Amino acid sequence: MTTSALAAPATGDGTEAPATTSERSPGDQNRAGWLFATPFLALYVLFLIGPVLIGLVISLFNTTTVKSGLGEWVGFSNYADVLSSGDFWDSMWHSVLFTLLTTPLLVLLPLLFAILASRVVRNRWFFRLAFFAPYVVPSSAVCLIFAFMYTPETGLVTNAFGWLGLTAPNFLGSTSGAWFAVVLLTLWWTFGFNFILYTAGIQEISQEVYEAASIDGAGPWQQIRSITIPLLRPTMSLVLILQVLASLKVFDQIYILLAGGPNYSTRPVIEYIYDTGFTSYRGGYAAAATMVYFVILVAVSTGWLLVRSRRTTSSGNTPAREEGAGA
Amino acid sequence: MTVTAVALDADEDRSRTGGRPDEGSKAFNRLAATCLTLFALIWLVPFAWALITSLRPDSEIAAHPTRPWSSGLSLDAYRSAWDASPIGWWYVNSFIISTLAVIFTVIVCSMAAFGLVHLKFRGRYAVFGLILAGLMLPTEALVLPQFMEFRALHLLGTYWAIILPAVALPVAVFVFHAFIKGIPIALIEAARIDGASWWRIYYQVVMPLCRPAISAVAILTFITSWNAFLWPLLVLTQTKSQTIPVGLSGLVGGAAIQYAETMASAVLGILPLLAVFLLLQRQITQGVANTGIK
């Protein structure tokens, strides 16, 4: 990092010098550059890096959330408490379970529908509208509507089960019913986002490839299997990691619709941190839980980056989208 | 996570069916269209359901909960929903917060990107690396320390508490960075020879050419900040100072009999952003595809 930073002005001079007028010195660029970057850097350090450091410090004290001040130094005992807490690991498992339940659905179904949509010529705006519109709806409005549809006996989803000859579970009162309710809601709500990413990925595949395949006599199914899906790999990998990270960070739906219930059986990590930090006022403990969770999330995204960069360097082709970003 | 610069004016309506579709692929395409239409209609059911319910009288909903038509439609539920909670205030708060967040994000992030692309300042690679690392920072997980910080700054309960942490958005810098790099360098050199200051080059040469990037970032920021839930829930505790998502969440699980009123509130909560989406459908989906981040 430091060496490349020192090399920067030199390369700049080499390429820029001929066109630069005499009064514009590298010193001028240096000052102007920092002036342009400063507003961003100030906010970035204060409000993105700041909370990480504050969380790190607070997690080592028995801070309470009700009064200001750090409280007493307790070393790593908050971490020991968090790591040995059954409630913390339960909530961690709920976030992971939610991820396991939603990720396959939200990675594969939008892929299927984006591929189907690419075969349709007319009325594409209608599919885009129907699938993406839920994504702009606030979480609480989604929960209001779904809570109404999940009402026992009178709700639309409850009745739909009856029409299919099935008995509806108690959506908001039983654990398995609650998971079903929240997964269905999430599928409806966020499906469109992944659908749009896949649609954009499909549009980058050259039309000529399909034409060549079609001249060679490849049917639609063969074209999808041997052209669309292999060329969509980079998009699928992007959608997968975005979905895993988003699902691990679940809070809104479960908190609003179920309040983590019944009896904390669906409470995700963020709600656990919220409960310990803001309801029981155990700031230091909640900060330690925050840091453990933070490290897990960063590890997941770093792991994905490592796997992806190894795969791209070994196969020798960078994903097309990234070349576009660099161009 | 990754910035995806999809060609901004990609022709969306090109068919993917290949040159001369034979009977087999025609049948396949028809099947695909049928499946999709069916699912798209199912996807619209919750919207339709909320709207219909909000227009029916409560007594009728109780008697025939799943009947999709009604003898007498009325807007009464909207009036009582409007009177029952300060939705007007929630609109105002959400609107001010989201608009300010968009303005500051666009200015601050485009400035940083301009500096990184055109100004060879010392340490710019370190700055770039720092912003790149920011893409991996799960900020939603950090609400507790963030809360402590804002309490120490005495900013809790203000609009600023919500706007300030939203402004330094790494993905926005990358969207602008990719776009500004594509602007011909000759334009900037010409302006420099004419003696324009860097600031003038930024706002008179570069920004007007950045329209597609500005709209992508503005759309992303507006939707994200309009729909933000957890942080506004912690920061804005007065009923009148809440935003739409936080205010509406208080209605879930309450007053189980007033179906029409509850659904009317939900429809009112959906309306502003849905209206914007209907108007700018193409730009919004394109913008989301370009930024590729939640």
Give the pLDDT of residue A7. Answer: 33
Of A140, A156, A283, the CB nearest to B252: A140
Residue A196 with chain B: CB contacts under 8 Å: 285, 288-289
User: pLDDT, tens digit, for every residue of B76-86?
Assistant: 788 888 888 88
The two tokens of residue A254 are 């479960």
Of residues A68, A31, A271, the one with CA closest to residue B124: A31
B122 phi-psi bin (left φ>0, alpha ψ -120 to 50, beta other): beta
Residue A32 with chain B: CB contacts under 8 Å: 115, 119, 121, 198
> Between the CA atoms of A79, A261, A67 and A50, what dihedral angle is there, to the nearest 10 degrees?
60
For A275-295, what is the mean pLDDT?
89
Give the pLDDT of residue A10. Answer: 36
User: pLDDT, tens digit, for every residue of B222-267?
Assistant: 988 999 999 999 998 888 889 999 998 888 876 556 788 888 889 9
pLDDT exceeding 90 applies to what percent of chain B? 28
SS3 A73: strand
Task: Indicate yes or no: CB of B193 within 8 angstroms of CB of A21.
Answer: yes
Q: Is the peptide bond before A230 cis (omega within 30 degrees of 0)?
A: no
Give the pLDDT of residue B282. Answer: 81
Chain B stretch 67-106, residues whose beta carbon is closer than 8 A to a beta carbon of chain A: none
Over 50: is that where the pLDDT of A49 sits?
yes
For B34-63, what is the mean pLDDT?
85
Over 80: is that where the pLDDT of A25 sits?
no
Task: Indicate yes or no: CB of A220 within 8 angstroms of CB of B253.
Answer: no
Q: How far is CA A41 from the centre of its chain?
A: 24
How many residues does the structure list for chain B?
A: 294
The two tokens of residue A51 are 């909370």
- Is the ipTM higher than 0.90? The answer is no
Least confident piece of the model among A57-61, A284-288, B284-288? B284-288
Give the pLDDT of residue A183. Answer: 95
User: pLDDT, tens digit, for every residue of A188-221?
Assistant: 999 999 998 998 888 888 888 888 888 887 778 8
The more confidently predicted of residues A1 and B161 is B161
User: pLDDT, tens digit, for every residue of A101-144?
Assistant: 999 999 999 999 998 888 887 788 888 889 999 999 999 999 99
For A220-230, what is the mean pLDDT?
83
The more confidently predicted of residues B156 and A221 is B156
Q: Which residue do the tokens 């990720």 mark?
A: A103
Task: Indicate yes or no: CB of A191 within 8 angstroms of CB of B43.
Answer: yes
pLDDT exceeding 90 applies to what percent of chain A? 32
**Cβ contact B111:A40 at 8 Å:** yes
Give the pLDDT of residue A247. Answer: 93
Residue A142 with chain B: CB contacts under 8 Å: 46
The more confidently predicted of residues A254 and B284 is A254
User: pLDDT, tens digit, for every residue of B88-117?
Assistant: 899 999 999 999 999 999 999 999 999 999
Q: How confident is the model at residue A21 (pLDDT cuts 50, 70, 90)?
A: very low
**Cβ contact A214:A255 at 8 Å:** no
A260 phi and psi, to 5 degrees? 80, 0
Decide: pTM greater than 0.90.
Answer: no
Of B121, B246, B269, the CB nearest to A33: B121
B67 phi-psi bin (left φ>0, alpha ψ -120 to 50, beta other): beta
